[in-house]
């Protein structure tokens, strides 16, 4: 990979695409040229990158020629159709959708967890699901030290994970309730304002949602261990951005809180916020717009001396999507 690549963003006008542009600019990513792609509907619009206006281009045959890295975030069907084309036209694809995550020959990567897998790619690298990324950033250093056996996770997920239209629906639904007006939800199956919806993505076998199963499959693939027991319940709450997670994690041996804190304080991508006396703990409202995975409310379990409980928060559009993809692109450029 060249040290100053031509980078394409597919889905440049969406919530994640816009965040990718911000993250690339903040990192001063060494790109030679930025090429924003979007649907035919958005083609011709202009996006802004470092003060420059760049015209959005429609996807078509041959459009990835000359592109070194293509960051995809325009939905599963777009990735299915265009990611293989991009790879065959010479780009390395980092795909933010679920289209390729579970293919055996496609790496699924959180750089803090399995950076080396990036270099096993055959043209496509998959970015994991938002709720899995932040969880595994927090658990990886503990897994290395104590071996993770079991986790039980309940999520408190923000609406931006469902896209820009979902954010607007939550805001409109909220205003309607405050004004005592009727409101018909379209993006969500039920009222999202002032509510908690225990459904994200579609239902599958056994009553699990696909979002819940993603956490199982992706944990196994990223940590390379199918013996880790993963149970999750995924819930959408009326928060704009910033996913929170309540985590119970059990390890192979007895662990002390001081060991966990020490590992976290020395780990990459993690910020410990845990000062109960001063009501300091991770919060979605404070994580939004920032890059770390925040951990806190750390407690040794009452019942199992090999287990801890904690609260984990990250910006789902950043570490949960755009930032993780850009980090993978950085690794590609660095070649390690």
Q: Based on the shown chain and the rule CB under 8 A, indicate whether residue 210 belongs to the binding site for a copy of itself.
A: no
Where do runs of H (alpha helix) occur along the chain? 15-26, 76-88, 111-114, 130-146, 164-178, 210-223, 257-265, 284-287, 323-334
CA distance 36 to 21: 9
Is-catalytic flag, 130?
yes
Query: Which residue among 63, 113, 130, 234 is the active-site one?
Result: 130
110, 116, 117, 120 alpha-carbon torsion, rounded to 10°: 150
The residue (of 51 and 207) whose beta carbon lies closer to a copy of itself is 207
Return the closest-CA partner of residue 240 out of 172, 146, 148, 141. 172
Per-residue binding letters, 163-182, with a copy of itself (x by CB under 8 A) = --------x--xx--x----
Phi, psi of 76 (to 5 degrees): -60, -40
What is residue 143's DSSP assignment?
Answer: H
> Please, which residue, 116 or 196, has the CB nearer to a copy of itself?
196
- Least separation, in Å, of the C-beta of 79 and a copy of itself? 26
The one segment of 119-127, 186-194, 261-269, 322-330 that binds a copy of itself by CB under 8 A:
186-194
Cβ nearer to a copy of itself, comparing 96 with 241: 241
Residue 185 neighbours by CB distance under 10 Å: 16
51 binds a copy of itself (CB under 8 A): no
Question: What is the rounded (10 degree) CA torsion for 140, 247, 293, 108?
Answer: 50
244: tokens are 């929170």
Q: Please give the residues from 291 up to 330 whose contact with a copy of itself meets the rule CB under 8 A.
A: 296-304, 309, 311
For position 335 contacting a copy of itself by CB under 8 A, the verdict is no
Residue 237 contacts a copy of itself per CB under 8 A: yes
Give the sign of the dihedral formed by CA 95, CA 216, CA 134, CA 140.
negative
> Does 109 sit near a copy of itself (CB under 8 A)?
no
* Residue tagged active-site, from 121, 243, 312, 331: 243
Nearer to a copy of itself, 49 or 248 (CB): 248
Examine the residue annotation and report whether 220 is marked as an active-site residue of this protein: no
Residues in 4-33 that interact with a copy of itself by CB under 8 A: none
Residues labelled as active-site residues: 130, 243
């Amino acid at each position: 990979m060249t040290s100053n690549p031509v980078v394409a963003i597919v889905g440049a006008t969406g919530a994640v695409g816009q965040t990718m542009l911000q993250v690339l600019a903040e990192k001063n990513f060494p790109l030679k040229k930025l090429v924003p792609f979007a649907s035919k509907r958005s083609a011709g619009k202009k996006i802004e990158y470092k003060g420059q206006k760049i015209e959005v281009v429609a996807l078509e045959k041959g459009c990835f020629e000359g592109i070194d890295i293509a960051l995809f975030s325009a939905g599963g069907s777009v990735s299915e159709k265009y990611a293989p084309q991009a790879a065959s036209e010479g780009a390395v694809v980092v795909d933010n959708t679920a289209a390729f995550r579970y293919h055996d020959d496609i790496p699924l990567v959180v750089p803090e967890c399995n950076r080396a897998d990036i270099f096993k790619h055959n043209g496509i690298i998959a970015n994991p699901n938002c709720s899995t990324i932040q969880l595994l950033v927090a658990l990886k250093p503990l897994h290395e030290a104590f071996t993770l056996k079991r986790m039980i996770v309940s999520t408190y997920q923000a609406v931006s994970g469902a896209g820009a239209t979902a954010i607007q629906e939550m805001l409109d639904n909220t205003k309607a309730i405050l004004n005592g007006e009727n409101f018909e939800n379209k993006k969500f199956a039920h009222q999202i304002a002032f509510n908690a919806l225990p459904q994200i993505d579609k239902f599958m076998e056994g009553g699990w949602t696909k979002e819940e199963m993603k956490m199982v499959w992706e944990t196994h693939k990223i940590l390379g261990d199918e013996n880790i027991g993963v149970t999750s319940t995924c819930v959408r709450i009326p928060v704009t951005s910033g996913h929170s997670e309540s985590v119970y994690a059990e390890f192979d041996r007895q662990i002390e809180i001081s060991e966990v804190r020490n590992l976290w304080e020395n780990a990459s991508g993690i910020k410990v916020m845990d000062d109960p006396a001063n009501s300091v703990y991770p919060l979605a409202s404070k994580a939004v717009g920032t890059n770390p995975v925040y951990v806190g409310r750390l407690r040794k379990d009452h019942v199992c001396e090999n287990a801890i409980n904690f609260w984990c928060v990250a910006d789902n559009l950043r570490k949960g999507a755009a930032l993780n993809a850009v980090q993978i692109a950085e690794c590609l450029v660095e070649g390690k």
